[in-house]
Amino acid sequence: MARIDQQSRNPILEIDNISLNFGGTVALKDINMDILPGEILAIIGPNGAGKTSLFNCMNGFYRPQKGTITFKKTDITRQPPYKIAKMGVARTFQNIELFTGLTALDNLMAARHILMKQGALAGGFFFGSARKEEVQHRQVVEDIIDLLDMESIRKKVVGSLPYGQRKRVDMGRALCMEPDVLLLDEPMAGMNVEEKEDMARFILDIHELKETSIVLVEHDMAVIMDLVSRGIVLDFGRKIADGTPEEIKDNPQVIKAYLGDKFSKKGVSL
């Protein structure tokens, strides 16, 4: 994938010098990064590097003690998660967080609630404008079902689905919020080769058809090399690299973080 010229577009999301501590534990330290419109960006690093903590700051689950996060020129550092989601930042979770007692279709429809304008009273009567709005939201959901090839599981209870299909529902639910920035936390973790290939195809389809900025946390370097235009590497809460996949895989600091100092000195590539 061609490298994106960072000077050609203004960032859609900017992270300026944020730090996050839990007592004496440093989760993130002086992180600076930008997300460009329409790019696929990977955040990688060893376990405990701070990747999910960074996601949690982006969507309001955590509030950093220092620094600012700006989305579309608006400071969202102290905004609650529901407001950030309504503004256009959606995410999936490393540990799938779905309504397991509901169908796949109901899970997707639940994501539309932040965009619904009719109140509970109008919805209860389900007449006129409330019915019209329901139809409009249902059409968006149907389009997502088609995009992610979920027709066969649409009416199945999520708790009965295999792991790979639940991950797909989780992504679909985030997409139903019509985000400008989609945060995918290990979307391929625990999947077999065929499921990973399907998920990679879906990510590329979302990127191409919806022009959504996608940020993903992923450990599989082969996946990253094929999918992303740029990668950022964290280690012990600090950013140690930012560049194309080719630049990252040969970076001595990245090799040291993953494999140890002796491999870095030998010039081993990931």
CATH number at residue 43: 3.40.50.300
Residues 171 and 194 placed together within one structural domain of the fold:
no
Place of tokens 């010229």: 5
What average pLDDT does this structure show over 60-69? Answer: 95
- Predicted confidence at residue 219, as pLDDT, reads 76
Quickly state the pLDDT bin for 5 (edges 50, 70, 90): very low
Residues 153 and 29 placed together within one structural domain of the fold:
no
Dihedral of CA 133/136/140/141: which sign? positive
d(CA 257, CA 103) in angstroms, rounded, equals: 42
Closest CA to 180 of 96, 103, 88: 88
Q: Is pLDDT of 69 > 50? A: yes
d(CA 16, CA 177) in angstroms, rounded, equals: 26
Residues 186 and 265 placed together within one structural domain of the fold:
yes
18: enclosing H helix or E strand: strand 13-22
Taking the model in full, what pTM does it have? 0.85
Q: Is pLDDT of 146 > 90? A: yes
Over the stretch 223-242, which tens digit does the pLDDT of each residue have? 777 889 899 999 999 999 99
- Predicted confidence at residue 138, as pLDDT, reads 86
Task: Indicate the pairing of strand 181-185 with strand 25-35.
Answer: unpaired
| Domain carrying residue 152 | 98-178
Residue at which a domain ends, from 126, 158, 178 = 178
Closest CA to 220 of 235, 199, 204, 236: 199
Rg, C-alpha atoms of the chain: 19
Residue at which a domain ends, from 144, 178, 212 = 178
Q: Is residue 93 part of a domain?
A: no
Contact 96, 166 (CB under 8 A): yes
Mean of all residue pLDDT scores within the chain: 86
Residue at which a domain ends, from 146, 161, 178 = 178
- Predicted confidence at residue 130, as pLDDT, reads 62
Number of domains in the chain: 2
